[in-house]
Amino acid sequence: MIFLGVDPGTATTGVGVVAFEIKTKSFKPLFYDVITTSKSLSAALRLREIFEAVNHFIQVFSPHQMVVEELFFNRNVKTALSVGEARGVVLLCAALIGVPVFEYTPLEVKQAVVGYGRASKQQVIYMVRQILGISEEITPDDAADALALCVCHGFRLLLGSSNV
């Protein structure tokens, strides 16, 4: 199975593509990067860029499932709204193409990848690199978060706790 992980944000959206073999319980990273949009663009144009990029990744990698970070409460309402808008665009893109979407909170991802729901970002990145066999640093963090979503989903499939 191929998973497309997306960590949505208006300025930076993390994207990771991972092949997962359930029989051998193995992961293979295929791609990771970020979609960045310019602050000089209107909100509508930034969202269009995110939509077009996610659509491109779906066309290139033909994922069987998309994994998206759930929006968690943020003290900064403006940030929460813009992340929500980016999430909406990502979810719409998946729905239009017919890719099933699975969502996990940051707490669930940390628990699945590190074994501790309050793990630091560096601990998550370290474990993602170990699990996926990536030797180089994964930057920026949003790309690592997208890969972590894929790993979390794979582990959930193994445990049978995902509604696949």
Prediction pTM value: 0.94
User: Could you give the C-alpha distances from 32 to 64, 89, 96, 97, in angstroms and in order?
Assistant: 17, 19, 23, 21
Please choose, from the candidates 107, 106, 116, 146, the residue with its C-alpha nearest in 3D space to the C-alpha of residue 128: 146
User: What is the pLDDT at residue 124?
Assistant: 97
In the chain, the domains with their CATH numbers are 2-159 (3.30.420.10)
Q: Which of 49, 69, 108, 145 is catalytic?
A: 69
- pLDDT confidence of residue 82: 87
Q: What sign has the CA pseudo-torsion 109, 89, 137, 141?
A: negative
Binding-site sequence positions for Mg(2+): 7, 69, 142
pLDDT tens, residue by residue, 70-124: 976 666 777 788 889 999 999 999 999 999 999 999 999 999 999 999 999 999 9
Which of 35-44, 70-79, 126-135, 136-145 has the least mean pLDDT? 70-79
Structure confidence at residue 74 (pLDDT) = 62
* Cβ pair 149, 67 in contact under 8 A: yes
**Length in residues, the chain:** 164
Instruction: Establish whether 142 is a catalytic residue.
Output: yes
